[in-house]
Chains A and B, each alone.
Chain A
């Protein structure tokens, strides 16, 4: 049986790194991607290799509009047997409420969070194998008003619409397209805040399950969507948020 390959954008840390590890554990050869954090990404690759998995490394700053096309060519060259899983995870989340969001910030968010996944999907379309699974990362903020992130949330709303359109465009090729929408998850600066008494209280008050989500809580459902067990799920957005009460 030939090896399946997965490409995970933004997998040097956080949910992306956990997804890369989960897919590697499921037998995928994983192409790890970083924007700026090369050393962290190398550690993810080394960790997967140390566990007996296979991983490769590609880099590319997605705030540059040229990057998706170049990155797609690089990934395609690494996938002579096609790509079986594409996880479009890379994103930035600066404060972006309407009152304070500069044009520069808006353009940065739209370029990295919406334009890049759209054109990566387009450019990798020919590389996606029959039966492949595409997983976008949406966010609780797409549907619920929380956090000072109006522009970010608006892009995530766009991602959820894109998922439905892409599912129907790619369905006849047996390619499934879905999204996972996490709530507050212990990644980056959020991890430290969520462990403070106030952060813990604020986060758990608003969800059914009374603990802080770890990246692995999100990675499991991403790996599920990439698996054969999810063969009948397409065009869906799965909130994976511990039961958001908002």
Chain B
């Protein structure tokens, strides 16, 4: 399949997990991919090397998206590789959870910086640079942006804030034909949860009765990047197998 032939795509946080699966999906669809990691260059190079081994094109850009205006630099460097950027996938995210009342200021700042501030900076720089006629901004959100759960309030606020940013950005970039959407995965089997037993508690709360795989999410991102999704903008697609709440809430109830 070559539905993204000729496009250039940057996927932040793509040295592993969902981000790596997205990089592989977009490359398999024909896009030239820029793999990004914060510090682990060898892992990012490994993803890029695997893409090249499958006949794709991939390069690596490094940078801590929470530091200063590095998020701008990462987008600029990615643009510079081919002198173009069509697809921006804002996947890097995460951070410490905990009760809001217990949360040190530094942790709050770090969670907001990674999940919200870097999204705004990177998407804004993408808007300034891109001349693409099929521009796509795709933000990886989380079910916690929509569902209440204790212990993830800062992350939930950051993800919800970034979704709101994407909705309004869609209005600003729509006249240029650029679409801006979010994908909200449910509980997904990545190395973050490998070897732990609690994810099995999520399965009965999921209509399709299994956990998500990184490729389940990557295929939805691949659709949003494609021409078939040209009329979708400003929306959040939940890719969670019909999960009725969030894993964080299920665990809180189980305690």
B-binding residues in A (CB < 8 A): 167-168, 170-172, 174, 176, 207-210, 213, 217-218, 220-221, 223-224, 228-236, 238-245
Contact, CB under 8 Å: A171 / B174? no
A171 to B244, CA, bound (A): 12
CB distance from A172 to the nearest CB of B (A): 6
Chain B residue, CB-CB nearest to A239: B235
Looking at the complex, which one of B175, B217, B231 makes contact with A232 (CB distance below 8 Å)? B217
* Segment from B41-49, B84-92, B220-228 that makes contact with A: B220-228
Chain B residue, CB-CB nearest to A170: B207
Contact, CB under 8 Å: A208 / B171? yes
Contact-residue bracket for chain B: 35 or more
Say yes or no for B241: interface residue by CB 8 A criterion. yes
Say yes or no for B56: interface residue by CB 8 A criterion. no
Say yes or no for B237: interface residue by CB 8 A criterion. yes
Say yes or no for B206: interface residue by CB 8 A criterion. yes
| A171 surroundings in chain B (CB, below 8 A) | 206-209, 241-242
Between A and B, 8 residue pairs with Cβ closer than 8 Å are A171-B241, A208-B171, A221-B228, A230-B219, A232-B217, A232-B240, A240-B232, A243-B233
B198-255: which have CB < 8 Å to A? 206-209, 212-213, 216-217, 219-220, 222-223, 227-235, 237-242, 244
Chain A residue, CB-CB nearest to B240: A232
Contact, CB under 8 Å: B220 / A168? no
Contact, CB under 8 Å: A208 / B233? yes
Chain B residue, CB-CB nearest to A213: B231
CB distance from A166 to the nearest CB of B (A): 10
Looking at the complex, which one of A168, A224, A239 makes contact with B223 (CB distance below 8 Å)? A224
Contact, CB under 8 Å: B242 / A209? no
Looking at the complex, which one of A213, A224, A241 makes contact with B228 (CB distance below 8 Å)? A224
Contact, CB under 8 Å: B231 / A209? yes
Q: Provided the pairs A172-B209, A230-B223 are in contact, do residues A245 and B171 lie with their beta carbons within 8 angstroms?
A: yes
Say yes or no for B66: interface residue by CB 8 A criterion. no
CB distance from A224 to the nearest CB of B (A): 5
Contact, CB under 8 Å: B234 / A243? yes
| A240 surroundings in chain B (CB, below 8 A) | 231-232
Q: Which of A167, A170, A234, A243 has the largest count of B CB atoms less than 10 A from its CB?
A: A243
Contact, CB under 8 Å: A229 / B220? yes
CB distance from A178 to the nearest CB of B (A): 10
A176 to B230, CA, bound (A): 23
| A239 surroundings in chain B (CB, below 8 A) | 232, 234-235
Contact, CB under 8 Å: B220 / A236? no
| A170 surroundings in chain B (CB, below 8 A) | 207
Contact, CB under 8 Å: A210 / B208? no
A244 to B171, CA, bound (A): 9
